[in-house]
Structure 1
Amino acid sequence: MVADNHQMLFAERALLIDGWAEDVVFSVDVEGRIASLEQGVSPGSARCLGGPVIPAVANLHSHAFQRAMAGLTEVAGQGDDSFWTWREEMYRLVSLLTPDDVVAIAAKLQVELLKGGFGRVAEFHYLHHEADGRPYAEPAEMSLAMLWAAEQSGIGLTLLPVFYAHSDFGGAAPTAGQRRFIHDVDGFLTLLHGLVGPCRAAGARLGLAFHSLRAVTGDEIAAIMKTVPGHAPIHIHVAEQEREVEASIAHSGRRPVERLYDIADVDDRWCLVHATHVTDAEVAMIAHSSAIAGLCPTTEADLGDGIFPGSEFLAADGRFGIGTDSHVATSVAEELRILEYGQRLRDRRRNRMAARPGASVGRSLFDHALAGGAQAAGVAEPGLSVGARADLVVLDGRSPYLASVDGDAILDRWIFGGVGPLVRDVMIGGRWLVEDGRHPEEEGIDRAFATALARLKA
Structure 2
Amino acid sequence: MILHCATALIDGVAVPLVRIHAQGGRIVRVEQGVAAADGDLRLGVVAPGSGNAHSHAFHRALRGRTHGDGGDFWGWRDRMYALADRLDPDTHHRLARAVFAEMLVSGWTAVGEFHYLHHRPGGTPYRPAHAMERALADAAQDVGIRLTLLDTCYLSAGPGAALSGTALRFGDGSARQWLDRWSDLRAELGPHTRLGAAIHSVRAVPPDAIARIVRELPEDVPLHVHLSEQPRENEDCLAEYGVTPTALLERAGALSARLSVVHATHLTDEDIRMLGDAAVTVVMCPTTEADLGDGIGPARRLADAGARIALGSDQNAVVDPFLEARGLEAGERLSSGRRGRFTPRELVAALSTAGYAALGETGGIREGAACDLVEIDDASVRTAGADPEQLALVATSADIRRVIVGGTVRAEGGRLRTPAGVAGESAEELLTAVLGTGRGDR
- Do Structure 1 and Structure 2 share a fold, with TM-score over 0.5? yes
CA contact (8 A) 1:54 1:392 kept: yes
| Stretch moving more, 279-288 or 365-374 | 365-374
SS at match of 1:421: helix
Change (3 A) 1:448 1:41: closer
Residue 9 of structure 2 corresponds to residue 15 of structure 1: yes
Q: Do 2:54 and 2:111's aligned partners in 1 also have CA atoms closer than 8 Å?
A: yes
Distance 2:181 2:397 in 1: 42
Measure how far apart 1:112 and its partner are: 1.3
- % identity of equivalent residues: 35
The aligned counterpart of 1:107 is 97
Counterpart residue type for residue 139 of structure 2: A
Q: Structure 1 residue 133: deviation in Å?
A: 2.0
Q: Give the Cα–Cα distance (whole angstroms) in 2 for the partners of residues 192 and 449 of structure 1.
A: 30
Q: Tell me by how many angstroms 1:399 deviates.
A: 2.6
Out of 439, 449, 454, the residue aligned to residue 416 of structure 2 is 439
User: What residue number does 1:428 align with?
Assistant: 405
Amino acid at match of 2:412: E
Q: Hey, what does 2:257 align to over in structure 1?
A: 268
Which residue does 1:358 correspond to in 2?
Answer: none
Change (3 A) 1:345 1:156: same
Give the Cα–Cα distance (whole angstroms) in 1 for the partners of residues 208 and 26 of structure 2. Answer: 42
Whole-Å Cα distance in 2 between the matches of residues 255 and 9 of structure 1? 49
Q: Which residue of 1 aligns with 2:366?
A: 385
Output aligned runs, 1:374-413, within 5 Å: 374-380=356-362, 382-399=363-380, 402=383, 404-413=385-394
2:141 to 151, 155, 162: 151
- Residue 188 (structure 1) shift: 1.4
**Corresponding position: 1:49 with 2:42:** yes
- How far the C-alpha of 1:447 sits from its partner, in A, is 5.5
2:349 to 367, 374, 389: 367
- Cα RMSD of the aligned pairs, angstroms, is 2.2
Among candidates 130, 150, 155, match of residue 140 of structure 1: 130
Counterpart Cα distance in 2 of 1:420 and 1:273: 23
Amino acid at match of 1:387: G
Of 40, 44, 56, 2:33 maps to: 40
Q: Does 1:453 align with 2:435?
A: yes
* Displacement of 1:193: 0.8
Q: Does 1:83 align with 2:73?
A: yes
CA separation of 1:437 and 1:204: change in aligned 2, threshold 3 A? same
Matched, 1:207 2:196: yes
| 1:17, distance to aligned residue in structure 2 (A) | 4.3
Match of residue 110, structure 2, among 96, 116, 120: 120
CA distance in 1, matches of 2:427, 2:133: 19
Residue 454 (structure 1) shift: 5.5
Unaligned runs of 5+ in 1: 1-6, 354-360
Q: Is the 8 A contact 1:33 1:430 kept in 2?
A: yes
Match of 1:193? Answer: 183
Q: Normalising to structure 2: TM-score of the pair?
A: 0.92
Q: C-alpha separation between the residues in 2 aligned to 1:37 and 1:376?
A: 24
The CA distance in 1 between the partners of 2:8 and 2:384, in whole Å, is: 13
Residue 18 to residue 67, structure 1, CA distance change in 2 (3 Å): closer
Are residues 1:98 and 2:98 paired?
no
Q: Distance in 1 between matches of 2:416 and 2:385?
A: 28
Larger mean Cα displacement after TM superposition, 435-444 or 445-454: 445-454
Partner of 1:357: none
| 2:61 counterpart (68, 93, 97) | 68
Segments of structure 2 that go 5 or more residues without pairing to the other structure are 419-423
From 27, 46, 49, give the equivalent of 2:21. 27
What is the letter of the counterpart of residue 8 of structure 2?
A
Q: Is the contact made by 1:8 and 1:45 (CA closer than 8 Å) also made in structure 2?
A: no
Matches of 1:205 and 1:420, distance apart in 2: 26
- Asked whether the equivalents of residues 107 and 445 of structure 1 are also in contact (C-alpha less than 8 Å), the reply is no
Matched to 2:334, the amino acid is: L
Alignment-mate amino acid for residue 368 of structure 1: A
1:314 and 2:303 are equivalent in the alignment: yes
Aligned to 1:160: 150
Contact 2:12 2:348 survives alignment (8 Å): no
What is the distance in 2 between the residues matched to 1:342 and 1:440?
Answer: 36
Q: Is the 8 A contact 1:25 1:46 kept in 2?
A: no
- Return the match for 1:255 from 229, 235, 244: 244
Over 3 Å counting, the alpha-carbon distance change for 1:159 and 1:55 in structure 2 is same
Q: Match for 1:95: what amino acid?
A: D
Shift of 1:392: 0.5
- Quickly say closer, same or farther: Cα 1:443–1:407, change in 2 above 3 A: closer
Range 126-135 or range 142-151, more displaced: 126-135
- The whole-number CA distance in structure 2 between the counterparts of 1:450 and 1:368 is 31
With normalisation by structure 1, the TM-score equals 0.89
